Amino acid sequence: MRILENLRSQNSFKAYFQDSSDQVTVKMKVLSFCHSCRASSPLPGFIIFFLTFYVHKMESAPFTVIGPDHPVIAVVGEDVLLPCHLSPSMSAENMEVRWFRSEFTSFVHLYQYGKDQYEQQTPDYHGRTELLKAGIMDGNVPLRIVDIRLSDEGKYRCFVQDGVFYEEAVLELKVAASGSAPHISVEGHQDGGIRVVCQSAGWYPEPEVLWRDLSGQPLSLSTETKSEEEHGFFEIKILSL
């Protein structure tokens, strides 16, 4: 054990020790509150000892948390499964599994003390989440979200803690909505051509529109595209001459 710092004064003493063998740091502080004692006195009349231990265990976590390395795609109104598992494979039955987005305490789903906890769950996810436990003994802790909404899009964190060890994985959920089937109508003649309108609604994100002929080749036509966002969805109206 070696001394890192040694400071002495009339009424105080500080010592810092470090044992490199087990990475344990000990801080000891002795303060004297005796103001009437003579300076020559080797021991103050009244001493309070403060002893603080700072233990730094330089140990790596016994597992890592792994999620998909690509965005998970979900469709509005349907269900989605967010994968997450431990590596190496081990039981997570007695661990804490917390799914959250930007705020740790405002969770999407929480599994703790061997059961699901809903008391402080984010209101937007009430009744819409399920931690699948069929593979929890092997470290599989995927989250199912039902009735997907546009607001569900974004990043999610799969946080797993076992005692003092914890790891997390970050994954991205992208939400899409297939709009109504395109409706094509002829509005009449204009500038020597025929005015054709193609209209569709309920898309997310905003779709790209391309006119093609019967053989599938793109048509270079003069078009006008109008997009209106309503409740987060897009309505597309394309005019062609």
**Does 99 have pLDDT greater than 70?**
yes
CA atoms within 13 A on the CB side of 68: 15
* Residues 168 and 192 placed together within one structural domain of the fold: no
pLDDT of 74 reads 96
User: Mean pLDDT of all residues in the chain?
Assistant: 76
* Residues 171 and 136 placed together within one structural domain of the fold: yes
* Residues 193 and 229 placed together within one structural domain of the fold: yes
**Does 100 have pLDDT greater than 90?**
yes
* Residues 166 and 202 placed together within one structural domain of the fold: no
Pick the range with the lowest mean pLDDT from 56-70, 73-87, 90-104, 149-163: 56-70
* Residues 213 and 234 placed together within one structural domain of the fold: yes
* Residues 43 and 129 placed together within one structural domain of the fold: no
Among the three residues 55, 78, 99, which one is the final residue of a domain in this structure? Answer: 55
pLDDT of 29 reads 38
Cα–Cα distance, 227 to 206 (Å, whole number): 8
pLDDT of 192 reads 64
Instruction: Identify the domain containing residue 24 by its residue range.
Output: 2-55
* Residues 109 and 160 placed together within one structural domain of the fold: yes
Q: What is the mean pLDDT of residues 19-27?
A: 39
Residue 216 to residues 19, 196, 210: CA-CA distances in angstroms? 76, 18, 10
pLDDT of 111 reads 98
Q: What is the mean pLDDT of residues 29-40?
A: 42
Cα–Cα distance, 201 to 235 (Å, whole number): 4
3-state secondary structure of 73: strand
Structure tokens at 70: 């690509």
Tell me how many domains the chain contains: 3
pTM metric for this prediction? 0.64
pLDDT of 49 reads 38
Among the three residues 55, 75, 90, which one is the final residue of a domain in this structure? Answer: 55
* Residues 70 and 153 placed together within one structural domain of the fold: yes
Structure tokens at 13: 């003493």
**Cβ-contact 216, 224 below 8 angstroms:** no
* Residues 157 and 104 placed together within one structural domain of the fold: yes
Residue of 131, 118, 128, 134 whose CA lies nearest to 160 = 131
Instruction: Write the CATH number for 220.
Output: 2.60.40.10
